[in-house]
Amino acid sequence: MLERLAVFVEGNTEAIFVKKMIEQIAGKNNVRLEHRSIRGGVNAPRTIQINATQPFNGQKYFVLIIDCGGDGLVKTRIMEEHESFTQKGYSKIIGLRDVRPTFTFADIPMLEANLPKYIKTKLIPVEFILSIMEIEAWFLAESSHFPKINPAITVEAIKSLLGFDPENEDMEQRFHPAEDLNNCYKIGGVAYRKKNAARTVNRLDFTLMYLEFGKKFDYLGRFLKSIDDFFS
């Protein structure tokens, strides 16, 4: 019987990151991945688009990654699909969303308290994962990837020119991680944009992130544990 997991994310950057992390943990040949986008549903017709899927080759595990089209829609989409996914035999749903731009550091306790509200506990479990303030905070912290973007982008250059240390400081305390990441890339004459996030994700050291960052960042640790539990 195929084991099923659904991961709802706010956008394409998160979808690319989740796909890569799951492949690294499970091995590409052990899990079948599918990436869908959901749009509309309030003032426009609701549409579901399959962006990428893998053929079934006897894999034991299936992970569906759903791009919800905005961080505020992650919980909404989960609530829309919760009963259906329960009936389809999924074992769990994970919802991954940023804190900003809607919320501040001070709002995080309120956000944590409100996300589980109205989620039906009689259905399959739902776990919410926050990237504080944005998923790019985790990208910043994986400082070994910078020279892979351009050799001029080093931790020393970032410290000297931008005044912070991505290797040793807590990047979840940065207010605008995506903007910081773009400023780092500018040192090497390139830019970070959501549309080219795959370039960044493909240069991250996922072994390091798996072994070390789960201890460093609480929510990333929770996400990795959920993935490990699913595959075990």
Q: Are 148 and 205 in contact (CB under 8 A)?
A: no
Our measurement of the distance from residue 212's CA atom to the centroid of its chain's CA atoms, rounded to an integer in Å, reads 17
User: Do 154 and 127 share a structural domain?
Assistant: no
Residue 23 included in any domain: yes
User: Do 53 and 152 share a structural domain?
Assistant: no
The alpha carbon torsion through 55, 39, 73, 56 (nearest 10 deg) reads -10
Residue 181 included in any domain: yes
User: Do 74 and 10 share a structural domain?
Assistant: yes
User: Do 225 and 152 share a structural domain?
Assistant: no
Q: Evaluate the CA torsion angle 75, 206, 173, 146 in order and state its sign.
A: negative
Give the domain extent around 83.
Answer: 3-132+217-231
Residue 174 included in any domain: yes
User: Do 144 and 120 share a structural domain?
Assistant: no
Residue 118 included in any domain: yes
Q: What is the pLDDT of residues 93-107, one digit of tens each?
A: 999 999 999 999 999
User: Do 92 and 11 share a structural domain?
Assistant: yes
Pairing of strands 47-53, 31-39: antiparallel
- Share above pLDDT 70 across residues of the chain, in percent, rounded to a whole number: 98
Q: What is the pLDDT of residues 179-207, one digit of tens each?
A: 999 999 999 999 999 889 999 999 999 99
Name the pTM for this structure: 0.94
pLDDT for 176 equals 97
User: Do 120 and 149 share a structural domain?
Assistant: no
CB neighbour class for 184 (10 Å; exposed up to 12, middle 13-18, buried from 19): buried
Q: Give me 53's structure tokens.
A: 């899927």
- Which backbone phi and psi does 188 adopt, to 5 degrees? -100, 10
Residue 76 included in any domain: yes
Residue 87 included in any domain: yes
* Average pLDDT score over the chain: 94
Is 52 a residue whose pLDDT tops 80?
no
User: Do 125 and 24 share a structural domain?
Assistant: yes
Residue 114 included in any domain: yes
**Domain count of the fold of the chain:** 2
User: Do 128 and 42 share a structural domain?
Assistant: yes
User: Do 190 and 91 share a structural domain?
Assistant: no
User: Do 156 and 59 share a structural domain?
Assistant: no
Residue 207 included in any domain: no
Residue 125 maps to which CATH number? 3.40.50
| Higher per-residue confidence, 78 vs 48 | 78
User: Do 91 and 104 share a structural domain?
Assistant: yes
Q: Which segment of 43-52, 59-68, 119-128, 157-166 scores lowest on mean pLDDT?
A: 43-52
